[in-house]
A and B are shown apart, each in its own frame.
Chain A
């Protein structure tokens, strides 16, 4: 075979050509980018919406709908023919009223909203802690999937793929594939206390989106949470605080650990959503390590006045 090694001179020439070309495209498109971002900035001010069900007979579904309407409608987040992946927290094989997992009614409401917006496919994906089949059944997620026709993805090992997270702490880590192969990702955590991170909210929910030696993440929990939150960066976060677990978290197991709040928090700013939810537990948001860190690393803000703040009461 004829093999010509490239000479040093040739390689330098080539490199110059390539970099020159790149620089040129950069110059040409730079003003364009600037206008785009400026335009986006003016109209797309981030929002935080809190939905409260005060009426005794309120329906969780209606509340979820109202909350999304206040944010500009689900169409704003989900386009036609999108593959939407919802990441609930269904890690524990616990009944819904124990508040260890996302309320199936909220899950159902969100799936239906996505379907109404014309999503091509709605998937529910969570890498559970307990045996996934039991989790699907007992948390009610399976029922929702069956009722709505959404896909419930079994977290098999072949769906965990090593990916470069480019985090501050995590570099390469196995990631649950459906969550990165989606057009839109909706984070749907439940709000509860956690013995190490203080609370488990939206950003912490991403620990359920990776594989590998997950239990080792707790050795630097706040930084790893922020790394994961930055990697997954959902379209929108809806925190389920219809009932929250205030003690014995995150697994719970007793109804005495649960407080019913009838609230939902929706935001496209993951830090703000968590900050708002932290308030429900009477925490100052920045006291929760990952919220403070998330703000520091620019994932969002805990200052609600910078956002479009709204309240929906039914």
Chain B
């Protein structure tokens, strides 16, 4: 029940992390100059529930982020009641639970064998220690495998856009048909499909990989039930450390046990529920399957006071040392590409309000919330632009979308504050720059004498415009003198929004392009002396 509730809540919040729909109901919000468009629902709620995100942000970013009292609450809860979170709240856990429960891949003996505690379960502690150590050295990799970030990213960047694209292809086909009723179905369908799956065809760089990884991790449930929770989940590992003091404990009555092994067959956490073995408090995900399966009532969950320390988490020295070592090396290796200290990639354009790169990497969870919410689909997961350290961090791709001048949705949703909260007024009046445009005169239509065009100037949103036109005479390719309007970029006005690049009629490599130089968040990455 509670699992279903939280899974549905998670997906609901995920769908709600979009351009708010209530502006269709109350337009006064949109017409109010002082008030910015904000999301109606606290879409960051699940991230604020996540103690791993809280802890890593705390030790890397040294800041207590607003709203993370929830995560603290979860830690306290775990302290008293064990990994209740995994069994009752975690939406990704619920999904694994479902996949493992409906048509299990393994039959009786094989399942019992698969549910024995396995040394590979130490791997999650390795990951936990790696993430904590790396965070301490200023690189927050948690989001790569944190269940909330992983689940949100997978659903919002791969699963939903994938399904949406499929449905839309179908609806488009219906719209093109000559049968009137199919047209109506198509138009009607769009009304329901678009708010859920996004308007237009969504595209995210490397989304195919995010999707395949997600499917692969679901598939692992066929090798062992809740493979992810047992072996990979770093949040589960963190909660496991606190779980040993739990007062909610599994009590075993060996005298009643008939060695039927039904408890082990149903144990999704491989926490040794069989009487005769010591119960693994830090592995138990409190699904209560064993309790329900036992025909003899030989095992029961009971509240025991005073707290009695259960078996300590089986980390293994190798996992601890390996984790420390890896956590030490990743941040150092991640800086070897020189992006932090020497020169950053010109195409690494961060969302408006992003912190300076160094602080950004301390806080960004790569959860994809900003990418999901961007109405123009400009924000994409970075592949190489931000180096290894910034894999899947947000990056604006201006040929795919652009940063709308008055929009501040992404800054409002960032759960950890890697993108600072901006108001529309602040964004425009400061102004917050994310880069600067430059013209490729060899490709530009008027500059190369191939025709007249003013699209970039026309679309430039600043006032006064950052792209200016000057009537000049140039030579066309066949040598004739022509008088055309030539675009010039005024770097002092340009904020790097990228609409010029997005709408430039020169396809392929647009004739006007935006690079990150001039971005407000960096002191070094500047062009002009005066700011």
Contacts and interface: CB of A to CB of B under 8 A. Distances in A.
Interface in A119-161: 129-134, 136-138, 140, 142-143, 146, 154, 156-159, 161
Interface stretch (A40-48, A75-83, A244-252, A269-277): A244-252
Judged by DSSP, the binding face of B is loop
Contacts of A157: 172, 200-201
A93 interface: yes
Given A134-B407, A158-B175, A158-B186, A218 B505 contact: yes
A172 interface: no
B408 to A, nearest CB: 12
B19 A133 contact: yes
A156 B168 CA distance: 10
Contact of B452 (A219, A254, A257): A219
Nearest to A130: B404
| Residue of B27, B31, B454, B460 with most chain A CB atoms under a 10 A cut-off | B27
A142 B27 contact: yes
A129 B404 contact: no
B27 A134 contact: no
Interface string A253-296: 11001000000000000000000000000000000000000000
Best-buried of A161, A213, A250, A253 by chain B (most CB within 10 Å) = A253
A140 B28 CA distance: 9
Of A95, A137, A146, A157, the most chain B CB neighbours within 10 A belong to A137
A254 B187 CA distance: 37
Contacts of A216: 505
A131 B375 contact: yes
B284 to A, nearest CB: 46
Interface string B447-471: 0000111110111111111000100
B31 A96 contact: yes
Contact of B451 (A132, A219, A248, A257): A219
A196 interface: yes
A308 B143 CA distance: 70
A134 B186 contact: no
A216 B506 CA distance: 8
Given A93-B404, A133-B375, A137-B30, A196 B505 contact: no
A71 B453 CA distance: 38
Nearest to A162: B176
B27 A146 contact: yes
A287 to B, nearest CB: 15
A194 interface: yes
B25 to A, nearest CB: 8
Q: Which of A129, A136, A195 has the most CB of B within 10 A?
A: A195
Contacts of A195: 454, 457-458, 469, 485
Interface residues of B, number: 49
A129 B502 CA distance: 11
A70 B459 CA distance: 37
Nearest to B450: A219
A248 B407 contact: no
A194 B454 CA distance: 10
Contact of A251 (B27, B171, B460, B504): B460
Nearest to B190: A156
Given A137-B24, A140-B27, A215-B504, A158 B375 contact: no
B33 to A, nearest CB: 6
Interface string B172-203: 10011000000000110010001000011100
A138 B461 contact: no
Contacts of A137: 23-24, 27, 29-30, 37
A219 B485 contact: no
Contacts of B113: none
Nearest to A104: B31
B406 interface: yes
Given A130-B404, A142-B24, A158-B171, A215 B455 contact: yes
Interface string B83-101: 0000000000000000000
A160 to B, nearest CB: 10
Interface in A209-256: 213, 215-216, 218-221, 248, 250-254
Counting chain A residues whose Cβ lies within 8 A of the other chain, the interface size class is 35 or more
Contacts of B25: 146
Interface in A151-204: 154, 156-159, 161, 194-196
B222 interface: no
Contacts of A131: 19, 199, 375-376, 404
Contacts of A254: 463-464
A159 B184 CA distance: 11
Contacts of A252: 463
Contacts of B485: 195-196
Nearest to B487: A195
A159 B505 contact: no
B335 interface: no
B458 to A, nearest CB: 6
B454 A156 contact: no
Interface in B355-387: 375-376
B205 interface: no
Contacts of B28: 143
Contacts of B460: 251
Contact of A133 (B175, B199, B462): B199
A251 B458 contact: yes
Nearest to B30: A137
A243 to B, nearest CB: 16
B407 A219 contact: no
B378 to A, nearest CB: 11
A213 B404 contact: no
A97 B25 CA distance: 22
A241 to B, nearest CB: 20
B403 to A, nearest CB: 11
B375 A134 contact: yes
B503 interface: yes
Contact of B190 (A96, A134, A158, A220): A158
Name the residue in A96, A131, A146 with the highest tally of chain B Cβ atoms < 10 Å from its Cβ. A131
B445 interface: yes
Contacts of A95: 31, 33
13 contacts: A96-B31, A134-B407, A154-B194, A156-B200, A157-B172, A158-B168, A158-B171, A196-B453, A218-B455, A218-B505, A220-B452, A251-B461, A253-B461
Given A131-B404, A142-B23, A157-B201, 20 more contacts: A93-B405, A93-B407, A95-B31, A133-B23, A136-B24, A137-B23, A138-B30, A138-B31, A142-B27, A143-B28, A154-B194, A158-B172, A158-B190, A195-B485, A196-B452, A196-B485, A251-B458, A253-B461, A253-B463, A254-B464
Interface of A: 93, 95-96, 129-134, 136-138, 140, 142-143, 146, 154, 156-159, 161, 194-196, 213, 215-216, 218-221, 248, 250-254, 257
Q: Which 9 pairs from chain A and chain B are nearest by CB? A: A253-B463, A143-B27, A137-B30, A158-B175, A254-B463, A215-B505, A196-B454, A137-B23, A216-B505
